[in-house]
Structure 1
Amino acid sequence: MTETKQPGDQFVQSLARGLAVIRAFDAENVSMTLSDVSRRTGLTRATARRFLHTLVELGYVRTDGRVFELTALVLQLGYSYLSGQTLPQLVQPLLEELSAQLHESTSASILDGADIVYIARIHTRRIMTVGITVGTRFPAYATSMGRVLLAGLPEPELERYLAAADLRPLTPRTIGTPDVLRAELARIRRQGYAVVDQELETGLRSVAVPIHAPDGSVAAALNVSMQVRFEDAGRNLDDLAAEVLPQLQAASRKATDALRAKQEPRVPPRS
């Protein structure tokens, strides 16, 4: 039996509970009553009430007396992390240029556990039922960027991921077994890009490529997302991917070069 890890003596339970209350809000639970929050966090109503009203006083939550919602102030919690990162600053102008060339939505993400996390995005129109912003998370196995990132993992890390992955069928097309996903990741590794056709959401296709760190590892992924058009219904996916790959790969090379240049020490000019 697996032993449950116990918190250390430096663990602050009240902070953990407060963060749990914030994380209870998501795209499907934007507004919640006290009972809703209590149920989703496992906290008693009295405890949930104290944390909610503390968050209201701090400005992270608002309420009309019955329903609670997060405020925009919670974005500071994520942006404090992102603002210290190099990648979002490097890729944002590249995504803008790429989107202008292709007239499609473009994004960049990193791998965080079993999910991808968006670090930058340019959207031309809403292409999913769930709005995508910086900080949005999706399961890596069902996304083009996630598969690029998984394909770049060292073999032991990938096997640990596959052993623990919950490959739920998000659409009828979603890859649902570790063996099939392993084979697809091997193909992505060989060809250098991923194409996902309506596996995250029906009607959505995307193509992704890796951004490499100076040591050669995969640091992040770039993608182009597009809606399935009637005229493309019978076309080969690789042919569709070929239409955006040159621009996508060029943006990836620029991002990879920028990361390398940032790390390389500057040599002072000779006198």
Structure 2
Amino acid sequence: MSVQLVHVEAPLPAPFDAMTHDADIAGESTEYIAGAQRRPSTNAASRMIAVLDTFGGPLGVLGVSDVALAAGVPKSTAHRMLGILLAQRYIERVGNRYRLASRVFELGSHVSGLRRLRDIATPYMTELHRETLSTVHLAVLDGPDVLYVEKIFGHGGPPCPTTVGGRNRAHATALGKALLSRTSVDLVHGLTHDGRLDKTTPNTVGSVSALLVQLSRARDEGFATETAECRPGLSCVAAPILDWNTGRPIAAISVSTSAGHVNSARFRQRVHNASQLLSDRLTSSHALC
């Protein structure tokens, strides 16, 4: 079973003990522009990647000045590289601005590991949506973030402004907490340099020490919850999808609904059941190898 999908290379830790480790530490409006804090690139290849990466945020359509600022390159360099990407069909022009084009979508569809994960999980997600009538997400851990791999929703649930391929900070989401509860304490401490965590909303957990308490509980209970930490008015319950052979997380599945509803035992049990079925399926079939 390949677990590189979640980008976690640390060895599986012992169960969290929040008292022992107390020394330090769902939408487009909370997803951020990729590259906004990027350092200046030093060669042509890295500058080109930096320019392309700027389109990974929620804004989607960017001008030359936006790209230059986010990529950390001179405006003239951004203009020249945008011209190359335009000629190769990686971006397209919208007036005097640019957005990603179909060639990027085509390439992204060939990310085999994530595609297989999504294809295997979709029937389980569809059934979970039918049972709960709420938005269902599938995500993997990527650095300090969760990366959304699939999303299933209907007409009746509350708006949940997340996007497939979008990101949110792992510590602010139930998906991220479910995944982090099965990773190393060192990785959790690596989310910050000073013991504080970025707050997406006033309710977002603000310190690693408080996060570790939540992760310890999530590991014991088999699921994680959050209320209005990622998006005001929304709550979420998530459970990790595990490789039973190693205990490592492959992905996480969640249900998002109006704040307050997520504490229902019905929601928690159905999400947990779906994660167990997917763990069985992925471990037994070695489907992502």
Q: TM-score range by the shorter chain?
A: 0.7 to 0.9
Percent of pairs identical after alignment?
A: 27
1:267 counterpart residue number: none
Is the 8 Å Cα contact of residues 114 and 165 (structure 1) preserved in structure 2? no
In structure 2, the partner of 1:4 is none
Unmatched tracts of structure 2, length 5 or more: 1-40
Larger relative helix fraction: 1
Give TM-score scaled by structure 1 length: 0.81
Q: SS of the counterpart of 1:80?
A: coil
1:43 aligns with 2:42: no
| 1:92 aligns to 2:115 (yes or no) | no
Judged with a 3 Å threshold, the aligned counterparts in structure 2 of structure 1 residues 42 and 90 are, in CA distance, closer, same or farther, namely same
Shift of 1:129: 6.6
CA contact (8 A) 1:211 1:252 kept: yes
Counterpart for residue 218 of structure 1: 249
1:176–1:43 distance in 2 versus 1, CA, 3 Å: same
Deviations 1:99-122 (A, max 9, x none): 011111111111111001112221
1:144-183 alignment, distance < 5 Å: 144-161=174-191, 163=193, 167-183=197-213
* 3-state SS of 2:62 partner: strand
Distance 2:160 2:268 in 1: 26
Provide the residue aligned with 2:277 in structure 1.
254
> For residues 249 and 168 of structure 1, do their structure 2 counterparts lie closer, same or farther at Cα, with a shift above 3 Å needed?
same
Check the 8 A contact 2:160/2:256 in 1, yes or no.
Answer: no
Gap change, CA 1:131 and 1:247, over 3 Å in 2: closer
Deviation at 1:21, TM superposition (A): 1.1
The corresponding residue for 2:37 is none
How has the CA–CA distance of structure 1 residues 213 and 176 changed in structure 2, closer, same or farther, with 3 Å as cutoff? same
Distance 1:170 1:13, change over 3 A: same
CA RMSD of aligned residues (A): 2.5
CA contact (8 A) 1:195 1:205 kept: yes
Alignment of 1:1-271 (within 5 A): 13-64=43-94, 66-82=96-112, 86-125=116-155, 127-128=158-159, 130-133=161-164, 135-161=165-191, 163=193, 167-214=197-244, 215-228=246-259, 232=260, 238=263, 240=264, 242-263=265-286
- 1:42–1:155 distance in 2 versus 1, CA, 3 Å: closer
Contact 2:135 / 2:255 at 8 angstroms: preserved in 1?
yes
Structure 1 residue 27: deviation in Å?
4.3
Q: What CA distance in whole angstroms lies between the structure 2 residues aligned with 1:84 and 1:141?
A: 22
1:126-166 deviations in Å (ceiling 9; x for gaps)? 75574422x21110000000001111002333333455776
Greater shift after overlay, 84-93 or 97-106? 84-93
Does structure 1 retain, via aligned residues, the 8 Å contact 2:141–2:170?
A: yes
**Change over 3 Å in CA distance of 1:127–1:163 after alignment to 2:** farther
Of the structure 1 ranges 112-121 and 159-168, higher mean CA displacement relative to structure 2 is found in 159-168
Structure 1 gap ranges (5+) = 1-10, 265-271
Distance 1:84 1:207 in 2: 22
Q: Which amino acid is 2:283 matched to?
A: R
Distance of 2:274 and 2:74 partners within structure 1:
50
Post-superposition Cα deviations, 1:30-49, rounded to whole Å, max 9, x if no partner, equal: 22222221222121122111
Distance 1:29 1:187, change over 3 A: same
Which structure carries more relative contact order (alpha carbon 8 Å, separation 6+)?
2
State the alpha-carbon separation in 1 of the partners of residues 142 and 242 from structure 2. Answer: 16
